[in-house]
Amino acid sequence: AQSVTQLDSHVSVSEGTPVLLRCNYSSSYSPSLFWYVQHPNKGLQLLLKYTSAATLVKGINGFEAEFKKSETSFHLTKPSAHMSDAAEYFCVVSDLTRDTGNQFYFGTGTSLTVIP
Amino acid sequence: DGGITQSPKYLFRKEGQNVTLSCEQNLNHDAMYWYRQDPGQGLRLIYYSQIVNDFQKGDIAEGYSVSREKKESFPLTVTSAQKNPTAFYLCASSIVKVGNQPQHFGDGTRLSIL
């Protein structure tokens, strides 16, 4: 079975400094991986997805994530935090099976605070 | 623009009452999902449906019911058997049987007890 671990429940950075949100997954084969962002009282918005075409994935709003199979990690980064980046971030792994179709497994989320 | 519409945005339930949350999508996705979100607990799967007229229980289905009579619609009923219904409910959809496809989410319904 797939599982996802977000290593930090809360991260706090100063505006203009780098952001690192950590995600580790467990999978017996090549996974599909996603990062989502959620602003208060809103749904989840897709930031980026790993499709196995490239290990470094670029997403929206300047975010990137690097897939490292040897470390089973998919950490999310951004060079310079902006106040509007303050939100909850979710790492998700999906599993496609013949019987059940697409199954999605969510991390517990990382709350990002950006200090002015 | 294609997307998922959840309504209402806020809903209040009286004790002993059933309430229904609406979810409509125009993305032509086969699969639809309902999640419950509580503070600090991430998302938990209530029900999902891969095709019209079929659905499966998720991890926390007790006290909830769903129907899937149309591809576009997947309403969730929170029954009186759900003793702690106060939460943020999210509906999602996705393509089925194709890998690397993400879920698309609505903006949620916040349910509270009166």
Amino acid code (one letter) for B9: K
Which residues of chain A are within 8 Å of residue B50 when distances are taken between CB atoms?
A: 100-101
The pLDDT tens digits for B44-71 are 999 999 999 999 999 999 999 999 999 9
Residue B74 has pLDDT above 70, yes or no: yes
The pLDDT tens digits for A75-109 are 999 999 999 999 999 999 987 766 666 789 999 99
The pLDDT > 90 percentage for chain B reads 81
CA B18 to chain centre: 15
Average pLDDT over residues B59-84: 95
Which band of pLDDT confidence, cut at 50, 70 and 90, is reported for residue B1? Answer: low
Residue A1 has pLDDT above 90, yes or no: no
Residue A67 has pLDDT above 80, yes or no: yes
Q: Residues of chain A whose C-beta is under 8 A from some C-beta in B? A: 9, 32, 34, 36, 41-46, 49-52, 90, 92, 94, 96, 100-102, 104, 106-109
Q: Cβ contact (<8 Å) for B4 and A43?
A: yes
Alpha carbon distance B95, A49 (integer Å): 15
Which residues of chain A are within 8 Å of residue B97 when distances are taken between CB atoms?
A: 96, 101-102
Alpha carbon distance A35, A19 (integer Å): 14
Q: Cβ contact (<8 Å) for A108 and B105?
A: no
Buried-state track A50-73, b at ≥16 Cβ within 10 A, e below 16: beeeeeebebeeebbbebeeeeeb
Q: Cβ contact (<8 Å) for B100 and A32?
A: yes
DSSP B92: E
Contact B63, B57 (CB under 8 A): no
Q: Would you state the pLDDT for residue A5? A: 95
Query: Chain-wide mean pLDDT for chain B?
Result: 93
Contact A58, A115 (CB under 8 A): no
Q: Coil, strand or helix: which one is A71?
A: helix
Higher-confidence residue: B1 or A22? A22
State how far the alpha carbon of A76 is from the alpha carbons of A9, A71, B35, in Å: 14, 14, 24
Q: For A90, how many CA atoms within 13 A lie in the half-sphere containing its CB?
A: 26
Best probe of the A interface among B56, B103, B110, B112, by most A CBs < 10 A, is B103
Average pLDDT over residues B1-12: 91
The pLDDT > 70 percentage for chain A reads 94
